């Protein structure tokens, strides 16, 4: 286990922030930062007031008026430079992510790599903001569409991916000509300072206006400023379904746009033809990795009854080998839950599962690390359920894997789609017909559907998001850039005549 003292940890954080370019104070503020690694408090930094947040929105709105006219490839240069700085300081920012999100350094640096990857993607996109030309029914006319920036984009991100999701939105929004105001989770303010400082350096290096990017720090009350200010044209919010139910109507009430990435009660179907060794590795990582605190974590396993006992025994055996502890020790695979609330929620769900006929096969117990009661480490749990009971329909943001069985494929699909969430899904099968059906309109109802790979680990090249109570938003790759723009349909008449559409006669 790591032998780093608390003072050494504070020094490590200061060095990482300095390397990223942050020069502000880490003392005397009103926002307490802490680490789930030890449960200890870190620095008290200065939060943002509602008045300051409103001023930042005003500054971003004013900057938009000139930024929208900057040629898109030049806007792309800012993102290119950001990607270069992220590459240079991947380890520095990774340390900050590890400290606040409790990830292994491999996962923390992997999150920063996602930022680098989306910068590469958005840089290319800055030269490909394409519109279409359509045939006109009128002679001497051209019909086309153009895409334009929308304005200020508000980004609200969650603790579990403190910087990656921010970059998905910001890289696309900036190349599209929008400006960004970011409200990260108050649990990850230090990594936010590092990520924002690197972007500020990129903007400065490219000679652009610093007001195209702003960071507001604080609890939900300061974030609510983004929901209600009419100058914020789009609110991209990542969090719980409960949060989405509050965000959507407030933004819609002022006719603003919203992009929601909410709950994900993700499942995998395991067919009798599956490669069980492949399935085992995919399941264990997706269910236990990041201590079950990914939006794409596998929470339900739907296994054919003919192989269920064998596969479940293998999963239980694999769980017993998982190393749990402070992820600064590179031998550790499962780090901490973010706080006591997450631990209490897990215990409540396990009790409910048992009351509803479930059997806890392994895990669920608290693990005390470094003789401290301040942090919350836990054994990932596997629960065999007799049927799709109420608790299985609810997402618990902790490492609980519910196991259900099925007898025919239609039943498996029905079990899979029975929950209200619809983010990520997977099937393990060597039967091509089953794989194709799972990916068809009659199969998985999720925004992400995988074959022979787990529910976690999405690449930035594809659009990320889900259906139903997941919110319907799409961000990151593919054509997600269109979310940050408005479409205009244009008709150009070069005929010298004035024929009306549909053959209408007027004068």
Residues with a catalytic annotation lie at 261
Cα–chain center distance at 306: 36
Answer positive or negative: Cα dihedral of 397, 398, 402, 408. positive
Strand 31-34 to strand 41-45: parallel, antiparallel, or no bridges (unpaired)? Answer: antiparallel
How many C-beta atoms surround the C-beta of residue 238 within 10 A?
A: 26
Instruction: Map 372-439 to HEC letters.
Output: CCCCCEECCEEEECCCCCHHHHCCCCCCEEEEEEECCHHHHHHHHHCCCEECEEEEECCCHHHHHHHH
Give 139-160 as a DSSP string: TTEEEEEEEEE-SEEEEE--SS
Strand 421-422 to strand 400-406: parallel, antiparallel, or no bridges (unpaired)? Answer: unpaired
Helices 276-288 and 308-319: crossing angle in degrees, nearest 10, is 50
The DSSP H or E segment spanning 272 is: none
If DSSP codes are grouped into helix, strand and coil, which group holds residue 161? coil
If DSSP codes are grouped into helix, strand and coil, which group holds residue 359? strand
Give 41-86 as a DSSP string: EEEEE----HHHHHHHHHHHHHHHHHHTTS-HHHHHHHHHHHHHHH
Would you say 148 and 68 are in contact if contact means Cβ atoms under 8 Å apart?
Answer: yes
Q: Where on the phi/psi map is residue 291: left (φ > 0), alpha (ψ -120 to 50), or beta?
A: left
How many C-beta atoms surround the C-beta of residue 361 within 10 A?
A: 17
| 25 class by beta-carbon count within 10 Å (0-12 exposed, 13-18 middle, 19+ buried) | exposed
What's the chain's Rg over C-alpha atoms? 24
| 485 class by beta-carbon count within 10 Å (0-12 exposed, 13-18 middle, 19+ buried) | buried
| φ, ψ for residue 375, nearest 5 deg | -100, 165
Count H helices and E strands in the chain, helices first. 14, 23
- For residue 253, what are the CA distances in angstroms to 242, 246, 295, 342, 467? 18, 11, 27, 32, 22
Strand 298-304 to strand 266-270: parallel, antiparallel, or no bridges (unpaired)? Answer: parallel
């Amino acid at each position: 286990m790591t032998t780093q003292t608390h003072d050494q940890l504070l020094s490590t954080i200061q060095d990482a922030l300095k390397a990223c370019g942050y020069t502000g104070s880490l003392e005397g503020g009103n926002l307490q930062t802490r680490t789930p690694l030890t449960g200890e408090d870190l620095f008290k930094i200065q939060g943002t007031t509602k008045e300051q947040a409103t001023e930042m929105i005003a500054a971003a709105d004013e900057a938009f008026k000139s930024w929208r006219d900057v040629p898109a490839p030049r806007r792309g240069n800012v993102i290119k430079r950001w990607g270069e700085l992220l590459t240079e300081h991947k380890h520095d920012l990774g340390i900050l992510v590890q400290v606040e999100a409790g990830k292994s350094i491999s996962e923390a640096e992997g999150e920063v790599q996602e930022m680098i990857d989306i910068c590469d993607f958005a840089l290319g996109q800055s030269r490909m903001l394409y519109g279409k030309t359509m045939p006109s029914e009128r002679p001497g006319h051209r019909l086309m569409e153009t895409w334009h920036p929308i304005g200020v984009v508000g980004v609200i991100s969650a603790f579990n991916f403190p910087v990656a999701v921010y970059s998905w939105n910001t890289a696309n929004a900036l190349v599209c000509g929008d400006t960004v105001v970011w409200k990260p989770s108050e649990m990850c303010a230090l990594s936010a300072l590092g990520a924002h400082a690197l972007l500020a350096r990129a903007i400065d290096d490219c000679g652009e206006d610093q007001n195209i990017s702003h960071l507001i720090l604080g609890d939900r009350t300061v974030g609510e400023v983004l929901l209600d200010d009419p100058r914020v044209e789009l609110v991209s919010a990542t969090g719980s379904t409960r949060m989405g139910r509050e965000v959507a109507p407030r933004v819609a009430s002022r006719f603003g746009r919203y992009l929601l990435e909410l709950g994900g009660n993700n499942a995998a179907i395991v067919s009798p033809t599956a490669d069980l060794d492949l399935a085992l590795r995919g399941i264990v990582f997706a269910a236990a990795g990041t201590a079950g605190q990914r939006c794409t974590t596998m929470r339900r396993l739907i296994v054919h009854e003919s192989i269920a006992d064998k596969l479940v025994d293998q999963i239980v055996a694999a769980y017993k080998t998982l190393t749990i502890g402070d992820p600064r020790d590179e031998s550790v695979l499962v780090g901490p839950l973010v706080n006591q609330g997450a631990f209490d929620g897990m215990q409540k769900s396990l009790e409910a599962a048992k009351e509803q006929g479930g059997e806890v096969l392994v895990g669920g117990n608290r693990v005390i690390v470094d003789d401290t009661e301040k942090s919350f480490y836990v054994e990932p749990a596997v629960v065999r359920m007799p049927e799709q009971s109420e608790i299985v329909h609810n997402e618990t943001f902790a490492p609980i894997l519910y196991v259900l069985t099925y007898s025919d494929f239609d039943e498996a699909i029905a079990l899979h789609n029975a929950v209200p969430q619809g983010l990520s899904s997977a099937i393990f099968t060597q039967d091509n017909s089953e794989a194709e059906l799972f990916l068809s309109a009659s199969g998985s109802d999720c925004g992400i559907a995988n074959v022979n790979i787990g529910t976690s680990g999405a690449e930035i090249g594809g659009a990320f998001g889900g259906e139903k109570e997941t919110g319907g938003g799409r961000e990151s790759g593919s054509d997600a850039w269109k979310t940050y723009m408005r479409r205009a349909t244009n008709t150009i008449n070069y005929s010298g005549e004035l024929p009306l559409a549909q053959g209408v006669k007027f004068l």
